Amino acid sequence: MNYRHAYHAGNFADVLKHAVLALVVEHLKRKPAPFRIVDTHAGSGLYALDSQEAAKTAEWEGGIGRLLGPGAAPLPAAVAALLSPYLAAVRAENDGPALRLYPGSPLIARRLMRADDTLVVNELHPEEHARLKAAVGRDRRVKVLELDGWLALKAQLPPKERRGLVLIDPPFEQEHELERMAEGLAEGLRRFATGVYVAWYPIKDPKPVARFHRAVAAVAGPKLLRAEVMLRRPVNLERLNGCGLIVANPPHTLQSDLAVLLPEIVRRVGDGGQGRFQLGSIDAADTTSKADIPNNRSATPRRRNRSSA
């Protein structure tokens, strides 16, 4: 995968990641006590969809463009209500209906958080860090770091607020990044056991992803939620066929909210009707609930338990 997120901003993976980010932040806001958000691999914060990089891939057209683009069909009422905070954050960066800018997780989190909440954003890449600091660095609620993301994870936990969200979204340019993520989640939970952790991962070949699930479940315990969106069936294991999130300590409403959102998302972003999603808890045996949405038609999720050695 290309590290520079400008090539991928607003794609289907961002839709899933940022919709969940917004849902978790809105849940944290239900209590008056302040909280902290830690974004370990934050990127530059704001992306021009008409840039040379974004135009080269046009991935946003198959992502946020399917939700807010000029040709996008209206969302069902229940879906629109759940996506409202996320989509409002995207609209806020654009004048009028045309999509020219897409906010990354730092800007979405900053727009949704309250006056006494704190946001820590970290980005190691020098050019991306400079853009990130320009985008959010003047906000007194925001602290901008330039560290290795895994070091930042250790350095910022536990937060003094003892409430919060940790977003982990590495570039996946290096080998064994899934193993590092499992280790990072384990380390984070040792330091801040009650925090909500949202960890994003790409899906090309499902086999290493299944090993990652088992590794995370072995160290993180039962409070894990898995949400995946697949564009297509993984016939070509060199392509980005889908992506997923592991959420540790998920808010109690998150799974039911995603059960409403994910069918609509895969109907819109799926490749030629091949879109499908998986949603459910995982354990060391990789037990999941699975739902296929074939041919962009409505379908009731089929729950299937599957154990693998």
Question: Strand order of the sheet with strand 242-248?
Answer: 142-145, 118-122, 36-39, 164-168, 196-203, 242-248, 224-230, 276-281, 290-292
Are the C-beta atoms of 57 and 8 separated by less than 8 Å?
yes
CA angle 104, 153, 169 (to 5 degrees): 35
- The CATH code of the domain that includes 53 is 3.40.50.150
Residue 304 or 107, more confident? 107
Q: What is the pTM of this model?
A: 0.90
Hey, is 162 helix, strand or coil? coil
Confidence at residue 272, expressed as pLDDT on a 0 to 100 scale: 85
**How many Å apart are CA 220 and CA 249, to the nearest integer?**
9
**How many Å apart are CA 251 and CA 148, to the nearest integer?**
28
**pLDDT tens for residues 39-91?**
999 999 999 999 999 889 889 999 999 999 788 999 999 999 999 999 999 99
Q: Is residue 256 part of a domain?
A: yes
Percent of the chain at pLDDT above 70?
89
**How many Å apart are CA 68 and CA 71, to the nearest integer?**
8
Q: Determine the length of the chain.
A: 309
Q: Is residue 120 part of a domain?
A: yes
Mean of all residue pLDDT scores within the chain: 89
**pLDDT category of residue 305 using cuts at 50, 70 and 90:** very low
Structure-token pair, residue 23: 């849902």
Transcribe 115-129 into DSSP letters.
Answer: TT-EEEEE--SHHHH
Confidence at residue 37, expressed as pLDDT on a 0 to 100 scale: 98
Plot region of 237 (φ>0 → left; ψ -120 to 50 → alpha; else → beta)? alpha
Confidence at residue 283, expressed as pLDDT on a 0 to 100 scale: 65
Q: Is residue 304 part of a domain?
A: no
Transcribe 217-258 into DSSP letters.
Answer: HHHH-S-EEEEEEESS-SSSTTS--EEEEEEES--TTHHHHH
> Where are the alpha helices (H) located in the chain, listed in sequence order?
12-28, 52-57, 65-68, 77-92, 105-112, 126-136, 149-155, 177-191, 206-220, 254-269
Percent of the chain at pLDDT above 90?
78
Containing domain of residue 50, as a range?
A: 5-296
Q: Is residue 302 part of a domain?
A: no
Residue 70, phi then psi, degrees to nearest 5? -60, -25
**pLDDT tens for residues 252-283?**
999 999 999 999 999 999 998 889 999 998 86
Q: Is residue 99 part of a domain?
A: yes
Confidence at residue 145, expressed as pLDDT on a 0 to 100 scale: 97
End-to-end CA distance of the chain: 29
Active site residues: 169
**pLDDT tens for residues 181-232?**
999 999 999 999 999 999 999 999 999 999 999 999 988 766 899 999 999 9
Region 109-114 average pLDDT: 98
Region 282-301 average pLDDT: 44
Rg over CA atoms, the chain:
18
pLDDT at 284 over 70: no
Q: Is residue 16 part of a domain?
A: yes
Q: Is residue 152 part of a domain?
A: yes
Q: Is residue 101 part of a domain?
A: yes
Are the C-beta atoms of 20 and 227 separated by less than 8 Å?
yes
Distances (CA, A) of 277 to 20, 205, 238, 260: 14, 16, 20, 12
How many domains are contained in the chain?
A: 1
